[in-house]
Amino acid sequence: MAKKHKPAPMVEEVSDFEILEVAVRELAIEKGLFSAEDHQRWTEYMHTLSPLPAARLVAKAWLDPEYKKLAVTDGVKASLEVGIDWVNSMPTKFGTPSDYCNLRVLEDTPKLKHVVVCTLCSCYPRPILGQSPEWYRTPNYRRRLVRWPRQVLSEFGLQLPEDVEIRVADSNQKTRFIVLPVRPEGTEGWSEDQLAEIVTRDCLIGVAVPKPSKTQNDKRPVHPAVRPVEHH
Amino acid sequence: MSRSHHADKATGIGDPQCFKGEAGPAKFKLGDKVRVKDLPDIFYTRTQVYTRGAIATVVELVYESPAAEDEAWDNVDNPQWFYSVVFRQKDLWPEYPDVYANDTVETELPEFWLESA
């Protein structure tokens, strides 16, 4: 008698939300709201996005006071100089309900530190910053940052003195935000390329500040739950 | 109204840029103190519950647009001014530590949610 094998473990390759997305997408294509080609073009566009243009914008602003002025008054216009056209880069040419065409660049000072969240969902300046990190979309970050910003920032390793104002920007309508951090000491004489390298995605969201030696995001700290949910 | 009216209006211009000039004169100006009304929101809103009833300062007139409450139902007939407003954390969360009294939250609200304070 052949040896009885255990069945191979099931791999849940597709989540319920992915199934829902496929169903809605197929209905929309059937209804003619957009075509399969439109969808493919959009997907391919989304895969081209990254935080590099935003890092470049910050580096340019550090080096050029006129450009900095433009960046903080008209983020959309300033984006053009780093290759991002908020209106026409998108395959739709008009934005989408999650990618509206309004960018504000929030300028930090030694006494003011901005940090961005979307408490209602997960609005994020994707055209200039790429896809949001997973933690940015979690209820944990969204609920806590707006209420306990100092605790949350310290979990990211960022402790700020009492006399620094923390300003949480809650991205709840059609504006998307990036942070223009203070240029760190130790970068005197650096080129735009060198400066852009230390402006990480986390610096642009505001949960980190640029440091001369740092070109990578930290791993997000994971703390065990104080009162873990019991699974039955 | 066609399903593509939004695309027709915003293509090549952008949203919210396509509503520029449609809201009329703004009711509030920079530096004004405003209170967030506590309106019913049984269908859709983007006005966070934590802001209701709190007083904030207008720091920027950001753009003109229909409110999310209207636009969610395809109603783009009443564009209005949107304001970026700043709350003191202490005014939102009474237990916020006094030692960090300077900390703030900035967010955007459409005109119909605001009244002079």
User: What pLDDT, on a 0 to 100 scale, did the predictor assign at position A33?
Assistant: 87
Give the pairing of strands A112-117 and B114-116. Answer: unpaired
Domain formed by A51-205, architecture: Alpha-Beta Complex (3.90)
The position carrying tokens 């001014």 is B81
Q: How far is CA A116 from CA A22, A28, A39, A60, A168, in A?
A: 30, 32, 29, 21, 6
Facing residue for A94 by CB, picked from B14, B84, B89: B14
Multiple choice CATH, B5-116, 3.40.1160.10, 3.40.50.10900, 2.30.30.50, 3.40.50.720: 2.30.30.50
Is residue A164 within 8 A of residue A111, CB to CB? The reply is: yes
pLDDT of residue B3 exceeding 90, the answer is: no
What is chain A's mean pLDDT, rounded? 92
Confidence of residue A35 (pLDDT cuts 50, 70, 90): very high
Q: Name which of A55, A2, A85, A23 is nearest A208 in CA terms.
A: A55
User: What pLDDT, on a 0 to 100 scale, did the predictor assign at position A208?
Assistant: 97
Instruction: Express each pLDDT in A64-76 by its tens digit.
Output: 999 999 999 999 9
- Two tokens, residue B32: 């004004």
Rounded mean pLDDT of B86-108? 97
Confidence of residue A231 (pLDDT cuts 50, 70, 90): low
Confidence of residue B2 (pLDDT cuts 50, 70, 90): low
Residue of chain A whose Cα is closest to the Cα of B2? A33
User: What pLDDT, on a 0 to 100 scale, did the predictor assign at position A210?
Assistant: 98
What is chain B's mean pLDDT, rounded? 94
Q: Is B27 left (phi over 0), alpha (psi -120 to 50) or beta?
A: alpha
B12/A93 Cβ within 8 A: yes
pLDDT of residue A62 exceeding 80, the answer is: yes
Is residue B70 within 8 A of residue B78, CB to CB? The reply is: yes
The set of residues, in sequence order, having a beta carbon less than 8 Å from that of A218 and lying 6+ positions away, is: A156, A157, A202, A208
A122 labelled catalytic: yes
Q: How many residues does chain A have?
A: 232
Task: Please report, rounded to a whole number, the percentage of residues in chain A having pLDDT higher than 70.
Answer: 96
Residue of chain B whose Cα is closest to the Cα of A119? B48
A101 labelled catalytic: no
A118 labelled catalytic: yes
B3/A94 Cβ within 8 A: no
Instruction: Express each pLDDT in A177-223 by its tens digit.
Output: 999 999 999 999 999 999 999 999 999 999 999 999 999 998 877 77
Helix (H/G/I), strand (E/B), else coil: A131 = coil
- Two tokens, residue B25: 């004169």
- Of these residues, A79, A118, A171, A203, which one is catalytic? A118
Rounded mean pLDDT of B75-99? 96
Angle of CA points A177, B111, B59, to nearest 5°:
45
Is residue B23 within 8 A of residue B83, CB to CB? The reply is: no
Q: How far is A112 from chain B (nearest CA, A)?
A: 9
User: What pLDDT, on a 0 to 100 scale, did the predictor assign at position A3?
Assistant: 66
What are the extents of the domains in chain B?
5-116
Is residue A68 within 8 A of residue A61, CB to CB? The reply is: yes
User: What pLDDT, on a 0 to 100 scale, did the predictor assign at position A95?
Assistant: 84
Instruction: Express each pLDDT in B35-69 by its tens digit.
Output: 999 999 989 999 999 999 999 999 999 999 999 99
A162/B3 Cβ within 8 A: no
User: What pLDDT, on a 0 to 100 scale, did the predictor assign at position A12?
Assistant: 67
A119/B62 Cβ within 8 A: no
pLDDT of residue A154 exceeding 60, the answer is: yes
Is residue A100 within 8 A of residue A176, CB to CB? The reply is: yes
pLDDT of residue A97 exceeding 90, the answer is: no
B82/A174 Cβ within 8 A: yes
Is residue B58 within 8 A of residue B32, CB to CB? The reply is: yes
